[in-house]
Amino acid sequence: MTDSGDRFSVVMEVLDHAVELRPVGEIDIATVSAFRAALWAAPARPVVRVDLSCVPLLSAAGVRALAAAHLRVRARGGELVLVDPAPVVARVLRVTGLHRVVPVRESGRARELLTCVAA
């Protein structure tokens, strides 16, 4: 599933035991509704991974969407995991304290090989 706009898109991959979401672009007041819709469209799985490597900016609206998604996924018996946030986004997660509630992981992939191109 891909949700495209001028500045923002989300690619979703549904696996047996996980859903992987990869937003591309800034998550701010203008794009948070598309991001939230993608989070809500994710089918129930034990793990919902959000790859933040292609998100250069995460606003307060994006933090709220992630916090709400965490509660929704947890209520369904799953876990929301944030993967590979860019340094600015990682700082937002730390400053807001969201990193204490939602696990933040590094995938181990070579960052220089990643390209942030909307599919």
Give backbone dihedrals phi and psi of 26, rounded to 5 degrees, phi first: -75, 135
Residue type at position 31: T
Coil/strand/helix, residue 38:
helix
- Per-residue pLDDT at 51 exceeds 90: yes
pTM for this structure? 0.86
Residue 92 counted as domain residue: yes
Q: Which residues form the domain of 71?
A: 2-113
Domain count, the chain: 1
Q: In the 8-state DSSP scheme, what is residue 10?
A: E
Predicted confidence band of residue 109 (pLDDT cuts 50, 70, 90): low
Residue 119 counted as domain residue: no
Residue 118 counted as domain residue: no
In terms of C-beta density within 10 A (0-12 exposed, 13-18 middle, 19 or more buried), how is residue 4 classed?
A: middle
Q: 3 Cβ partners below 8 Å, 6+ apart? A: 9, 10, 34, 37, 38
Residue 109 sits in a domain whose CATH number is 3.30.750.24
What mean pLDDT comes out for the span 74-84? 96
